[in-house]
Every structure is written in structure tokens, then in C-alpha cells.
Amino acid sequence: MVVQCRVLFIFLGLQVVMMVLYHQGYHHQVSRVLNILSSSILSPTPANLIMKDVYSGLEQIQALNLTEDDLPSCPKSSPFLSGPLKVSFPLHLTMDEIAQKNPWVQMGGHYQPPNCWALHHTAVIIPYRARRKHLYQLLYHLHPFLQRQQIHYTIYVVHQIDNNTFNRGKLLNVGFKEAMKENNWQCIYFHDVDLIPEDDRNVYGCSVLPMHSAVAIDKFQYKLPYQTYFGGVTALRPTHYLKINGFPNNYWGWGGEDDDIASRIFLNKMFITRPPAAFGRYRMLKHGHDKGNEVNPKRFHLLSSTHIRWRRNGINTLNYKLLSKEQTQLYTNFTILVWRRRLTLVKLNRR
Ligand code: UDH
Ligand code: NGS
């Protein structure tokens, strides 16, 4: 009781000191102290919290001695969730190593909780070219991350193998189309290869609104770069994706295709939803500028006419050539050629 009185006394004393300082004109100093105090008290990852490794506790996943039909539904909140995760990047990862750490993942990067019926059925689509190290880091983190959430999922990588300029929007459209041929997915996650989620409460299931998950990226000091930002990691229900006609196919190179799909959502009178910033945290893997993904100088011009073009440019006008579909231990790989319309065909024919 005496101790509690002392603490209260000190607290009130501090408050009086702050008020006096504030009234004497030390506004900035007082607000700085308050900021420091509030950020340490309200911080999403308090220093005293022990952050778990993304694999910790997963050894408890066990099959039940029941037939599939008798399995219970998975709980609304998975018992494996632990909040903020300790993210580390093991060197020289190999597929075998990652596969060994994920014994429940089946060929093609497919997983279903062995002990309950999942509430979420999610395809994760990764646009890809020449980022092998990033891909392995993402797979190393994403598989256990999704298992913690008791999700039924498959990871798909859409690999643009030609030397045309990179086209993220088109690859994501291809991923959608090919993934939906495989399964009646209820939720599609569009996931950049270099974003590592840091909190397993950022559950990869769809809500009634299009979801922007990468709310707080370290590269942007864990803040949104701008209010309508819809890049990095996003999710839509297939019905919503089809309603907005998917991504545009004609953004070649860096920038704008994510703003275009955001406009499509707004043009269709939908809104974007986001997880709380404490959950939607990501580390971005460092890399230099990609060859073949130069900044697209036409992006602002294209964006100015999204409202005219969106119905005629998207999943309904997608053209590509699927060279192979391959099931690896950790993901299903689609290798594709993206046609750059007639121009490419003419060039090829002339050779
Ligand atoms: N990607 C590849 N290979 C490439 C290019 C892109 O796999 O050669 C994929 C990858 O999944 C990446 C995503 O496309 O995460 C988006 O690529 P991006 O270059 O648009 O974005 P990122 O965040 O890099 O990776 C930002 C580069 C900063 C450019 C700044 C211009 N002002
Ligand atoms: C905007 C781009 C987006 C991009 C975002 C973040 O300016 O495509 O920056 O980029 N829009 C336009 O250029 C119109 S990032 O720093 O992550 O590469 O996603």
C-alpha cells in the first residue's frame, strides 16, 4: 500500500512538473517526452515482449485419429498465433532445408491443417523474375506463417521468363487465372517476393472488402506512403477481382499498376480495408534496381484514363503463353511468356 502511494505521488508530481514546464513555454520539450513515453507504452512490439520465431510451436501440429468428415472446424482464432515474430534471415537456404522444416507442406506448396477444417482457402500469388534469394527467404517465412493461421493454401509463383520488360499486373492476372483452374479458391493474395510479414495476426483470409495488407513496411518507416497505396501485399475475393476486371495488362516496368487496381476498386464503388498497423508489418528485403523493370514513363498517362479503359483491359483481355506448370516441394511454378501485343509478334516473325 505504501509503495502504491509512493508511485501515485511520483506520477502526480511528474504531471505537475510537465504542466509547469508547458506553461513556461517548453512546449516542444514536453511533447517530445510525452511522445517517447507514449510510443514506448503503446508500441506494437514492446521491448519486454518475447518475440517468437515463426517456426516455434509448429511441432505441435498433429493429425487427429479421425476421418476427414469427422474433423472439427478450425477455431476462429488459431491457437498457434503469437503476435509479433522475430524475423531473421538464414544464409544459404535451400529448398530441401525449407521443405524439411515444413513436413506438412505437400508438393506444389499446398497445405491443409491436418487436424481441422480450415476457415480460409487462400491462393498466394507471387510475381517473379530473377529473385531466387528473395523467393527462398519468403518461402522460409511464409509457409510457417500461414500454418500458424491454420489456413488451407497453395503458393503459386508466376515466372516471367522472356526478356520483355517486367509486367507485374499481367503476371498477377495469369496467377489468378491459373490458380482458379486448380481450385475454387475463396481468397487470392497478391504477394511481392521481397515482403516478409512480421506479425501472424495479419491473417491471410479475405474479408468482405478488398484488403491491403502491407500497411506498415520498414522501408516506409512503418507508415503508409500515401493514403490510397495498394501495393506490396493485397487480397481480393475472386468475385471482386472479376468485377473490377483484375489488373491492367499494359503497365510495362515499374510503377502504377497497383494504383490502377486501387482506382478500379473505387470506380466499382468498393473500399479498401486494412489490418491494424501493428499487425500489417513487413520487412522489405534489400535489392538493387532490377534489370528489365525500369520506371515506366507512361504510368501517369495510363492512370489518367483508368476510368475509360478498365472494362477493356484486364483479365478479360489477357494473353500469354504458359510454357510449363511445375510442382516443386514448396510452390507451384507457372513459367510464362508475356506477349507485348503485335509488336513482339512482328519482331519475332521477322527474325
Ligand atoms: N519482381 C521480380 N523481378 C523483377 C522485378 C519485379 O520478381 O525483376 C517482382 C517481385 O515480386 C517484386 C515485385 O515484382 O517484389 C514488385 O517489384 P518492384 O520493382 O515494383 O517493387 P520493389 O518493391 O522495388 O521490389 C522497388 C524498387 C524501387 C524503384 C524506385 C523507383 N522510383
Ligand atoms: C508510387 C507508385 C506505386 C508504387 C509506390 C511505392 O509512386 O506504383 O510508389 O513504390 N505509383 C506511381 O508511380 C504512379 S516502392 O517504393 O515500393 O517501389 O507501388
- Report the atom number in ligand 1 closest to the C-alpha of 126: 11
Nine-digit cell string for 13: 508530481
Whether 132 lines ligand 1, by a CB cut-off of 6 Å, is no
pLDDT for position 2: 46
212 CA → ligand 2 middle, Å = 14
Comparing CA positions, the residue from 210, 196, 297, 289 lying closest to residue 247 is 210
User: pLDDT 10s per residue in the chain (351 long)?
Assistant: 444 545 444 544 555 554 555 455 554 444 444 433 433 444 445 545 689 999 999 999 999 888 888 999 999 999 999 999 999 999 999 999 999 999 999 999 999 999 999 999 999 999 999 999 999 999 999 999 999 999 999 999 999 999 999 999 999 999 999 999 999 999 999 999 999 999 999 999 999 999 999 999 999 999 999 999 999 999 999 999 999 999 999 999 999 999 999 999 999 999 999 999 999 999 999 988 899 999 999 999 999 999 999 999 999 999 999 999 999 999 999 999 998 765 444 444 443
pLDDT for position 339: 81
For ligand 1, pick from 132, 193, 289 the residue to mutate: most ligand atoms within 8 Å of CB: 193
Contact 304, 239 (CB under 8 A): no
For ligand 2, pick from 229, 259, 285, 298 the residue to mutate: most ligand atoms within 8 Å of CB: 259
Closest residue CA from atom 32 of ligand 1 = 295
Closest residue CA from atom 18 of ligand 2 = 255
- Distance of CA 55 to CAs 3, 137, 139, 200, 257, Å? 42, 14, 12, 11, 34
pTM tops 0.85: yes
186: Cβ–Cβ under 8 A, 6 or more apart, which residues? Answer: 120, 121, 122, 206, 237, 238
Whether 168 lines ligand 1, by a CB cut-off of 6 Å, is yes
- Separation between Cα atoms, residue 108 and residue 232, nearest integer Å: 23
CA–CA–CA angle 274, 235, 147 (5° rounding): 95
Whether 129 lines ligand 1, by a CB cut-off of 6 Å, is yes
Taking the CA atoms of residue 238, residue 240, residue 244 and residue 248 in that order, the dihedral angle to the nearest 10 degrees is: -40
281 CA → ligand 1 middle, Å = 18
Please give all residues whose beta carbon lies within 6 A of any atom in ligand 2, as ranges: 225, 231, 255-256, 258-259, 299, 303
pLDDT for position 213: 98
Question: What would the 3-class secondary structure string for the chain be?
Answer: CHHHHHHHHHHHHHHHHHHHHHHCCCHHHHHHHHHHHHHHHHCCCCCCCCCEECCCCHHHCCCCCCCHHHCCECCCCCCCCCCEEECCCCCCCCHHHHHHHCCCCECCCEECCCCCECCCEEEEEEEECCCHHHHHHHHHHHHHHHHHCCCEEEEEEEEECCCCCCCHHHHHHHHHHHHHHHCCCCEEEEECCCEEECECCCCCCCCCCCEECCCEEHHHCCCCCCCCCCCCEEEECHHHHHHCCCCCCCCCCECCHHHHHHHHHHHCCCCCECCCCCCCEEEECCCCCCCCCCECCCHHHHHCCHHHHCCCCCHHHCCEEEEEEEECCCCEEEEEEECCHHHHHHHHHHC
Per-residue pLDDT reduced to its tens digit, 92-104: 999 999 999 999 9
pLDDT for position 68: 85
53 CA → ligand 1 middle, Å = 27
CA atoms within 13 A on the CB side of 32: 5
50 CA → ligand 1 middle, Å = 32
For the chain, what is the radius of gyration of the CA atoms? 24
33 CA → ligand 2 middle, Å = 34
Comparing CA positions, the residue from 316, 312, 321, 323 lying closest to residue 340 is 321
290 CA → ligand 1 middle, Å = 7
pLDDT for position 8: 41
